[in-house]
Amino acid sequence: MSTAAQRSPLPIKLLTNGFLIFWLILAAFPFLWTLWGSFKVEGDFFSKANWANAIFGRLTVEETGGSFTGDGYYGAWIQEEFWRAAMNSTILCFCVVTISLTCGTLGGYALSRSTYRYAFWFLFFALIFRAMPPITLVSGYLLPFYEWNLWGHLYTTVIVLVAINQPFTLWMLHSFFKNIPKDLDESAMVDGCTRFQAFRHVIIPVMWPGVITTGLFSFLLAYNDFAVTAMLLSEENQTMIPKINSFLGTTQTKGNVMFAVAAVVSVTAPLFVMVMVFQRQIVSGLTAGAVKG
């Protein structure tokens, strides 16, 4: 692939690689700093006295005796039972991704195959719906959800997250399906398949790459959501991000910031594995789709 790029002259190669290294430092430096700091005590992590303390950990040595401490991790995972939140997040993300993609592929496929104006208006309104600030939406849900006993459950939040992210999913999948040639399913229909059979037997086998890419983004949206999960989940169903927020303290009381830091660092590990496993599909996925806007 990209044979042209490999033939590029040395100065350009240096320039692009230099730029890439610069970007990677920019992107990863705060994370690496956090990773390093997560093994220190709070006084060092937020070293107001001198930033070099964050590297050498003066207070960490003073308070714990060693230059590294796992207290943040112990506190978050064992004392505060962060694993519960991690489990809830796993269930939530899995359900959101599955349902989002199921609804999204059906809708996105239909939108890409319809030539009527109403399909455009459908997409248009989906986009306008997305403009609604989520905090307003969520505060509107509260009363009816309490009234009908829907509040606090994981499944309610799953459905809400699916619904809120549906416009994004639809737009992305719609662009993807537009790039699968129409001849493919239309010839199947000429052979006597119904629209749904054509979709099942012809489109589904070729759509995975694009679906996986969209899935990654719906996963990240659900995984990082705070506005919805903080308001709609009861304490035992709490997911990771609201849990991390609860480590940060309130106006009148101090929190355990290092628990939050340790929690954030430890949940990036599974993400690394995920990105490594799926990166090929991500690329080939978007390759086939999303290219035509």
Partner 1 sequence: MKMWNTAILGTAMAVLTTTTALADGHGCAIDAGRVSIIGNEFPAIQTIGATAGECAGIEFSSNLTADHQTLNVAGMTGNPAEYTTAIVANSSIVALINEDVIRPLDDLIAEYGQDIPARQLITVNGQVMAVAFMANAQHLVYRADVLEEAGVAVPTSYEEMLAGAEAIRAAGIMEYPLGGAYAAGWNLAQEFNNMYIGHGGEFFEPGTANVSINNEQGIATLEMMKALSEYMNPDFLTHDSNATSAEWEAGNVAMMNMWGSRIGNLMDDEGSEEVVYSNTVVGGPLMVGDSGVPATTLWWDGWTVAKNISDEDAAATFQAMAHAVAPTTLNEETMGQAVWLMDGYTPAPVNEGVLASVAAGSRPYPMVPYQGLLHSALGDNIADFMQGNESAEQTLADIEAAYTSAATEQGFLQ
Partner 2 sequence: MKHGTFFWFVFPSALLMLLFIAMPIVSVVLQSLYVQHEQVLIEVENCSLFGCETTTSVDQEATRALREAEPLGRWAGLDVYLNRAHLATSEVAEAWSTRESLGDFFSGLYNLPFYRALAFTLTYTFIVTPLTIILGFFIAVAVNSTIKAVRGPTIFFSLLPFVITPLVGSLVLFWMLDARGILGAGLQWLADNPDLSVKASTPLMWIALMIYGVWHSAPFAFVVFYAGLQTVNQDTLESAMIDGANRWERIRYVVFPHLLPLVTFVALIQLMDNFRVFEPIVSFAAQAHATSLSIAIFTDLGGETRLLSSAAATSVLTIIGVAILLSPVMVRTYRDFGKD
Q: Where in 253-272 is the site for partner 1 (CB under 8 A)?
A: 253-255
Q: Which is nearer to partner 1, 102 or 234 (CB)?
A: 234
Q: Does 46 bind partner 1 (CB under 8 A)?
A: yes
Q: Which of 278, 20, 290 is nearest to 173 (CA)?
A: 290
| The CA-based dihedral angle spanning residues 272, 158, 98, 130, taken in that order and rounded to the nearest 10 degrees | -90
110 makes contact, choosing from partner 1, partner 2, none, with CB < 5 to 8 Å by partner type, with partner 2
- Residue range at the interface with partner 1 (CB under 8 A); choices 18-26, 27-35, 177-185, 245-253: 245-253
**Residue in 54, 59, 126, 261 binding partner 1, rule: CB under 8 A:** 59
Q: Which is nearer to partner 2, 69 or 173 (CB)?
A: 173
Residue numbers 135-194 binding partner 1 by CB under 8 A: 139, 142-143, 146-147, 151-152
Rounded to a whole number of angstroms, the minimum distance from the CB of residue 160 to partner 1 is: 15
Rounded to a whole number of angstroms, the minimum distance from the CB of residue 74 to partner 2 is: 18
- Residue range at the interface with partner 1 (CB under 8 A); choices 84-92, 107-115, 153-161, 230-238: 230-238
Q: Does 87 bind partner 2 (CB under 8 A)?
A: no
**Residue in 30, 48, 276, 293 binding partner 1, rule: CB under 8 A:** 48
252 makes contact, choosing from partner 1, partner 2, none, with CB < 5 to 8 Å by partner type, with partner 1
Q: Does 126 bind partner 2 (CB under 8 A)?
A: yes
Q: Which is nearer to partner 1, 151 or 171 (CB)?
A: 151
264 makes contact, choosing from partner 1, partner 2, none, with CB < 5 to 8 Å by partner type, with partner 2
CA pair distance 63, 73, nearest whole angstrom: 16
**Residue in 118, 183, 250, 272 binding partner 1, rule: CB under 8 A:** 250
3-state secondary structure the chain: CCHHHHCCCHHHHHHHHHHHHHHHHHHHHHHHHHHHHCCCCHHHHCCCCCCHHHHHCHHHHHHHCCCCCCHHHHHHHHHCCHHHHHHHHHHHHHHHHHHHHHHHHHHHHHHHHCCCHHHHHHHHHHHHHHCCCHHHHHHHHHHHHHHCCCCECHHHHHHHHHHHHHHHHHHHHHHHHHCCCHHHHHHHHHCCCCHHHHHHHHHHHHHHHHHHHHHHHHHHHHHCCCHHHHHHECHHHCCHHHHHHHCCCCCCCCCCHHHHHHHHHHHHHHHHHHHHHHHHHHHHHHHHCCCCC
Binding residues vs partner 1 (CB under 8 A):
41-43, 46-49, 59, 62-63, 139, 142-143, 146-147, 151-152, 230-231, 234-235, 242, 245-246, 248-255
